Structure 1
Amino acid sequence: MTTRLDALKRCSLVVADTGDLDAIQRYRPHDATTNPSLILKAFDLPGYQALIEEELAAVKAETRDRQVQAEHAVDRLAVAMGSEIAKAVPGRVSTEVAARLSFDTQASIRKAHELIESYEQRGVGRDRVLIKLASTWEGIRAAEVLEREGIQCNLTLLFSDAQAQACFDAGVFLVSPFVGRVTDWYKQATGRDYAPDEDPGVRFVRGVCARVGRGGYATVVMGASFRTLGQVLALAGCPRLTISPALLEELSAEEGEVAPGVEIPAVGECPAPLDEPTFRWGHNQDAMANDKLAEGIRRFYEDQRTLEARLAERLG
């Protein structure tokens, strides 16, 4: 019998939402995504300890400024881990620009250039990397510039139709609309549980896929932030799905077929591009999206700071 994981791979391109090399090698995804939270989780894994020590030694040789050391160490570690992950997947690895830059277009562009240069120094070409940026107006503008330079991007923390449309307008390579965090907000607001087909997060991602199809946009949609197996299976047919090791294990342990839950409609009318006031107003009108974007940026920033503190301890 076919496992649910193998069946899902026939409907969607599966991406591992982890920095754990063992998990990536076990489930054989096409791509892998990382962020400060996932790097923090991978920080204590035995397989990364020699790499961490090597990167910290290189940071110490670059500068004696402790704060600069910690910040540089996070970037070096992200790229070093990403380079190892790139050896284990046939596709791309996503590496995130620091959350503190989410509202600074020029600083985000400079950081993306630094990350790509670091990857290229390690022999990993830009065609194997996606630069991950928060879906703020400033992050989307940074992605627009980077895409024109041949640096493809993954726009994350996407919760509203306005964010999605602005990303399509900017020609970004990939967007990551969140499922679980959307549903978390509605469950807290309403006090109810949702079946997969009426799940707010599932319906949101299906809507983003429909918007891509009707507009004829080239942007890839990748469902992210799953809480349950039901959410994953309900979005079979979404071009890409980034899934945690725990849910990948559930999928690999179950046998059965997977029916597509997402249909991409034929090209219809392409709406006019959003200007900044229209984007900000549209996003502002979605209370869930406002809450979750701000919360997501804060969480990534907190994990970045925690990671910097852990690295500072190791730097001595």
Structure 2
Amino acid sequence: MSSSPVKRQRMESALDQLKQFTTVVADTGDFHAIDEYKPQDATTNPSLILAAAQMPAYQELVEEAIAREHRWQPVDLGGHLTCIHLPRPHLSPPCRELEEQHGIHCNMTLLFSFAQAVACAEAGVTLISPFVGRILDWHVANTDKKSYEPLEDPGVKSVTKIYNYYKKFGYKTIVMGASFRNTGEIKALAGCDFLTISPKLLGELLQDNTKLVPVLSAPLPSCGLTWKKSTWMRSLSVGCTTRTRWLWRSSLTGSASLPLMQ
């Protein structure tokens, strides 16, 4: 006697599971990728805009943007929906004035140390985006260890420490992990407030049926850093200044290329 066919319940993709406890953000300038993966938000930067601007699908938009350049008028960007990037967290930023007086939300980037992250929270910024992959890159290039398991990844450990500290002491600043090198890093940060992910890795997560659970939860003691104390601790953080210089160079490359398209 043959048994009845077993009805297999469709497994949710790792991407769908991740969306249940983390706000998934698409890190791209490609509108089609945003539509395909249905993220809850999106981030971009000059390098990603440059890459999208070179795609045939967007040539008409590029030409229109160039044509409008000389008749540009200020527009309302919708401050409640938009965050601007401020790339110098080691300096006392204008973020408090921007947020409190002008209603402009700030995303502090170029974050490579715990001290910087605490100082951002103390300054009341809306969001920080520590770069997981950039931290990993520095350790691979400057230490003898060349590979890491996801939970031991230096970038993952950095974001985990920041997230746990913020939650322990009730900071409102959103933690958005960024600059991922693989899906293992993303899974190891499941439960983080926001994760901004490239279309390539979003695609891999969509095809992955691994069961995910929130990972981030452990508390840390308060250290009450001010901007001045943060600067001192940053100077003691191995590789922090070097990593910042690396990212400055790569960011400026994308920014400088855009005007050449005109």
User: Which of 139, 142, 162 in structure 1 is aligned with 2:94?
Assistant: 142
Residue 261 (structure 1) aligned with residue 212 (structure 2): no
Q: C-alpha displacement at 1:47, in angstroms?
A: 3.2
* Equivalent residue, structure 2, for 1:87: none
Distance 2:18 2:28 in 1: 18
Q: C-alpha displacement at 1:259, in angstroms?
A: 1.5
* Equivalent residue, structure 1, for 2:165: 211
User: Which of 23, 33, 40 in structure 2 is aligned with 1:23?
Assistant: 33
Return the letter of the residue paired with 1:50. E
Residue 53 (structure 1) aligned with residue 53 (structure 2): no
Distance 1:271 1:185 in 2: 26
- Structure (1 or 2) with the greater helix fraction: 1
Stretch of structure 1 that moved more, 185-194 or 151-160: 185-194
Return the letter of the residue paired with 2:112. F
CA contact (8 A) 1:130 1:152 kept: yes
Q: 1:218-237 counterparts in 2 under 5 A?
A: 218-237=172-191
TM-score (norm 2): 0.89
Distance 1:304 1:205 in 2: 26
Distance 1:226 1:33 in 2: 14
Q: C-alpha displacement at 1:214, in angstroms?
A: 2.1
CA contact (8 A) 1:215 1:271 kept: no
Note closer, same or farther for the CA distance 1:273–1:187 as it changes in structure 2 (3 Å cut).
closer
Q: Identical aligned pairs, as a percentage?
A: 42
Return the letter of the residue paired with 2:246. E
SS of structure 2 residue aligned to 1:10: helix
* Equivalent residue, structure 1, for 2:7: none
SS of structure 2 residue aligned to 1:157: coil
Q: Deviations over 1:123-162 (max 9, x none)?
A: x421111111114344x52212111131111111111112
CA contact (8 A) 1:169 1:273 kept: yes
SS of structure 1 residue aligned to 2:175: strand
Q: C-alpha displacement at 1:175, in angstroms?
A: 0.5
* Equivalent residue, structure 1, for 2:126: 173
Note closer, same or farther for the CA distance 1:238–1:188 as it changes in structure 2 (3 Å cut).
same
Distance 2:53 2:119 in 1: 35
Distance 2:111 2:28 in 1: 19
**RMSD across aligned positions (CA):** 1.8
Q: 1:1-316 counterparts in 2 under 5 A?
A: 1-61=11-71, 117-118=74-75, 120=76, 124-138=77-91, 141-149=93-101, 150-192=103-145, 193-263=147-217, 265=219, 270-276=222-228, 278-310=229-261, 314=262
Distance 2:60 2:18 in 1: 35
Distance 1:252 1:30 in 2: 15
Q: In terms of Rg, which structure is larger?
A: 2
CA contact (8 A) 2:165 2:221 kept: no
SS of structure 2 residue aligned to 1:201: helix
Distance 1:126 1:38 in 2: 22
Where does structure 1 lack aligned partners over 5 or more consecutive residues? Answer: 63-75, 77-116
Stretch of structure 1 that moved more, 182-191 or 243-252: 182-191
SS of structure 2 residue aligned to 1:225: coil
TM-score (norm 1): 0.75
Distance 1:136 1:244 in 2: 23
Q: Deviations over 1:29-78 (max 9, x none)?
A: 1111111111111111233222221121122446xxxxxxxxxxxxx9xx
Return the letter of the residue paired with 1:14. V
SS of structure 1 residue aligned to 2:93: helix
Q: Deviations over 1:11-37 (max 9, x none)?
A: 211000101111000000111111111
* Equivalent residue, structure 2, for 1:67: none
Stretch of structure 1 that moved more, 53-62 or 11-20: 53-62
Q: How many residues align?
A: 250
Distance 2:150 2:250 in 1: 26
Stretch of structure 1 that moved more, 28-37 or 252-261: 252-261
